[in-house]
Amino acid sequence: MARVTSLILILLVAMTAACTQSPQSLPDNPENRTTVAKKYLEVMPPKELLQGVAGRVAPTLSEDNRKVFTEVINREDIQKAAYGIMLDSLVKNFTVAELNAMVAFYGSPEGQSAWKKFSPYMNEIMPPIQQEVRKAVAAAMPKPPEAKEPAAAQPKSGAPAAKEQKAPPSKKK
């Protein structure tokens, strides 16, 4: 827990320091965002992200599918597509100052180290968080009404019970 707290503290300090406006800060516009986003993609290449995904997904696949999946993930056209998708999303969602902070942090030895630890961290925390959410949702769900035993004279369909018919009296000869 102390490790996670320290990591979060380092991340916040680095991002705060990088986000501080200086006289040399670039204006926040799409062109400048694109320039800084490209710098970010140099320190955090999409190829590494794809290989990280492949490392987590491939073991869950059959041997034949694993080979095909790995080949596809490593194709240049997939990596170029990922680069374009990530660049567009970075420009759309982050300011120049935020992108500069990301470049500063993830470009640093601490940021690179933190990134390498992020996947194991997520793999460790997600199962217990999902379990807690499932328990909370189950507790919050309305309980179905308890089924009552049907009355002996009432059929399960809810239709009135037919009167019991007696066998006709037998004729004696």
Residue-wise pLDDT for 118-135, tens only, equals 888 888 998 999 999 999
- 22 found inside a domain: no
Return all residues near 150 (Cβ < 8 A) that are at least 6 apart.
156
Spatial separation of the C-alpha atoms in residues 73 and 172, rounded to whole Å? 92
| pLDDT band of 152, cuts 50, 70, 90 | low
- 84 found inside a domain: yes
- 69 found inside a domain: yes
| pLDDT band of 168, cuts 50, 70, 90 | low
Q: How many CB atoms lie within 10 A of CB 163?
A: 6
- 65 found inside a domain: yes
Task: Indicate the number of domains in the chain.
Answer: 1
| pLDDT band of 31, cuts 50, 70, 90 | very high
pLDDT the model gives residue 4: 46
| pLDDT band of 171, cuts 50, 70, 90 | low
**Residue 106 sits in which domain range?**
27-135
What's the sign of the alpha-carbon dihedral 111, 113, 114, 115? positive
pTM for this model (two decimals): 0.61
Percent of the chain predicted with pLDDT > 70: 71
| pLDDT band of 61, cuts 50, 70, 90 | very high
- 4 found inside a domain: no
In whole angstroms, how far apart are CA 99 and each of 15, 35, 121? 10, 10, 23
